[in-house]
Chains A and B, each alone.
Chain A
């Protein structure tokens, strides 16, 4: 069982999902799916480290907080991220994200993300034991 990410359709925006054998991995994959909304993550060099910490009342809100923290860091640092390490302790998250400043020519970013929403928000384990972390992001 390997970790992966995917997008799912929403009429106006884009759904993102991270899937992994463990919850922290699913959160990390969801972050990769977030980058993939903007550009191909493989084009983003993991050169600079940014540390992120957040807490929330439940793990679904924690997923939204995590994604919104990344959106914030992308916006104020003008960066894109392509590598993530996530540690979860209940409803506390500590993470390290690696990326680089936006290079329009190389990254070819398509769209910026305004925020992660509660639409189609879910953090759950499927019958195969894989964790899913998903929501729609507003673009």
Chain B
């Protein structure tokens, strides 16, 4: 049930006016049904974010918003350093730069259908996934620092992919401003043998078919046709990002008082952007972004190896790679004036519209692909940033369905074996090291991704381009 102070601004946007310590309003983008189903904690957390120093315009929540820690998952907020703005470890999260990349295969459903099961088996065998898994790559200290500074550019230089991939990755595959020395020895140790691993939880590698096209010109620009087969990879910065989140969250929670910041919730731990701690965190967080970009690049290489062996006629070209948990410096126009802002997106996707200078030249006339992950049995979506998304929420959109049910409730409702069998009956091959993990991630445990995407589209955050359906999924 929505809180009574929620004012409807339009069919798909809602506002909680500033009250108490809130410096700006909280604005939520969602349909009435999604608002009614939203956890009350989302409203509370969006309001808490609005109390942080230097916040600009409003605290935003995307249509897939759910209860996070500090920030809601699906939370977006921008801060101005010149107005005492902060950077928040809680506003980025533990899985720094967790994101999705989608690859064309050049194949149609008819070409792949018969080898789908063999492909799923081979991908499951070749790409390390799940608890305790390790990658084939071991990084010494020097290589670790080079990876943290170079991201996917480093990975390509090591032979994992090619130059063409880099053009289709945010930041051209390398987040500038990374400071490997701001990353602790513990964080680096945690990552030493985790490069090229998928992780667990909601991370996956999915072979998908294009089921529906909504926007023919944008789909053509993205190279998508109905019955094309694509591969989507969802994972992040692994142990390194988790450890950075852990360490800086604590440092910021302890230091907040010294900076005169009153935290309504310890999870909102933050530091002024211009403080030594704020700058150190930004350097470490950017290194973690590079770790995630390198990790997805290595997994892409492993995926290509499997396809080359089983389906040699396939050519896996990268459509795009986007991250969900980041803080990035961007220029946005506020009241007619361009300002340099630190935009936090936690469980939210950047969605630059047509003409943005950070887009690759061939996508610039169309806008940025916005990749929305599904959940094994449900649709995934490809959207595109719009011109108006800049004015909505600093060019941001949703990132997935968002959970509707706790992991506990999911395991009470489903058995992993039944989920795998039910999906197999629908032609979807699931491979996972854990049946309990499959039950926790059962498609029914998530919100209706189509309702979330429809709300994002209707709210003007991004426009629908294509709907994808799973054929095979390796679940971490």
Contact = CB atoms under 8 A, between A and B. Distances in A.
A117 B267 contact: yes
A68 B246 contact: yes
A118 B440 contact: no
A115 B236 CA distance: 14
Contacts of B266: 118, 121
B45 to A, nearest CB: 10
Contacts of A115: 94, 242-243, 245-246, 249
Given A72-B243, A78-B132, A13 B186 contact: no
Interface stretch (A17-25, A41-49, A102-110): A102-110
A68 B242 CA distance: 10
B436 interface: yes
Scoring B94, B131, B266 by chain A CB atoms within 10 A of each residue's CB, the highest score goes to: B131
B360 to A, nearest CB: 31
Contact of B94 (A10, A76, A138): A138
A14 to B, nearest CB: 6
A119 B199 CA distance: 23
A14 B250 contact: no
Contacts, number: 119
Given A75-B239, A111-B200, A111-B440, A136 B69 contact: yes
Contacts of B190: 72, 75-76
A111 B133 CA distance: 11
Interface string B390-410: 000000000000010111110
Contacts of A116: 246
A139 B41 CA distance: 19
| Interface core residue of A7, A65, A109, A116 (most chain B CB under 10 Å) | A109
A114 interface: yes
Interface in A76-119: 76, 78, 101-102, 104, 108-112, 114-119
A85 to B, nearest CB: 23
Given A57-B254, A104-B433, A109 B68 contact: no
17 contacts: A9-B409, A68-B246, A75-B242, A76-B192, A104-B132, A108-B436, A109-B130, A109-B131, A110-B200, A111-B440, A112-B131, A117-B69, A117-B94, A117-B267, A118-B249, A138-B95, A139-B200
Given A11-B39, A12-B66, A111 B437 contact: yes
B314 interface: no
Interface of B: 39, 41, 66-70, 73, 93-95, 130-132, 134, 186, 189-190, 192, 199-201, 239, 242-243, 245-246, 249-250, 253-254, 265-267, 269, 403, 405-409, 433-437, 440
Contacts of B243: 72, 115
B186 A9 contact: no
A48 B371 CA distance: 44
A108 B435 contact: yes
A117 B265 CA distance: 12
Given A12-B66, A138-B93, 9 more contacts: A10-B406, A61-B254, A78-B132, A108-B435, A108-B436, A110-B440, A112-B201, A114-B95, A119-B69
Contacts of B265: 118
Nearest to A37: B407
Given A75-B190, A102-B132, A112-B201, A118 B267 contact: yes
A11 B200 contact: no
Contacts of A101: 132
A133 interface: no
A122 to B, nearest CB: 12
Given A102-B132, A111-B200, A9 B69 contact: no
Nearest to B441: A111
Nearest to B437: A110
A76 B243 CA distance: 11
A102 B345 CA distance: 34
Given A64-B250, A78-B134, A109-B131, A12 B73 contact: yes
A109 B239 CA distance: 17
In this complex, the member of A9, A61, A115, A138 whose beta carbon has the largest number of chain B beta carbons within 10 angstroms is A115
B66 A108 contact: no
B175 to A, nearest CB: 20
Contacts of B437: 110-111
B434 A138 contact: no
A31 B174 CA distance: 38
B337 to A, nearest CB: 36
Contacts of B69: 13, 117-119, 136, 138
A14 B434 contact: no
Contact of A114 (B242, B405, B408, B436): B242
Given A14-B407, A114-B242, A108 B434 contact: yes
A38 B250 CA distance: 24
Nearest to B199: A112
Most B CB within 10 A of own CB, among A14, A101, A104, A114:
A114
A57 B253 CA distance: 11
B245 A102 contact: no
Nearest to B239: A75
Contacts of B253: 61, 118
Contacts of B41: 11
A70 B132 CA distance: 14
Contact of B436 (A76, A110, A121, A138): A110
B434 A110 contact: yes
A115 B92 CA distance: 14
Nearest to B432: A110
Nearest to A60: B266
A111 B434 contact: yes
A112 B362 CA distance: 39
A39 B66 CA distance: 26
